[in-house]
Amino acid sequence: MTIRHVVSWKLAATGEAERAEQIAAITSGLESLPATIPELLSLEVGVNALTPEANFDVVLISDFEDAAALARYVEHPDHQAVAAYIRSVISGRSAVDFEV
């Protein structure tokens, strides 16, 4: 059973330049993970394009072989480093893990 892991974040910053910088850093950090974390079967990062006042700003969609693979990914040091940066710049997070 494949597990799809979907996470959305709302940035805390309100300035356009700061938000753009943070989005670029989040995107770059997340997109670097497949090179070092073999549990990642696929990874896609999306940036909100419409109604920024109502929607989350960034989304991660990633697939894992099973729940154990997702758990290993979460604990991986490279993921932990990216996650720490993300936690430092967000005001909200939402996640859903489901079988596909």
What's the pLDDT score for residue 72? 98
> What domains appear along the chain, each with residue ranges and CATH number?
3-99 (3.30.70.100)
What's the pLDDT score for residue 55? 97
Q: In what order do the strands lie in the sheet with 90-99?
A: 42-47, 58-64, 3-11, 90-99
pLDDT digits (tens, 9 = 90+) for 13-39: 999 999 999 999 999 999 999 999 999
pTM: 0.95
pLDDT digits (tens, 9 = 90+) for 45-83: 999 999 998 999 999 999 999 999 999 999 999 999 999
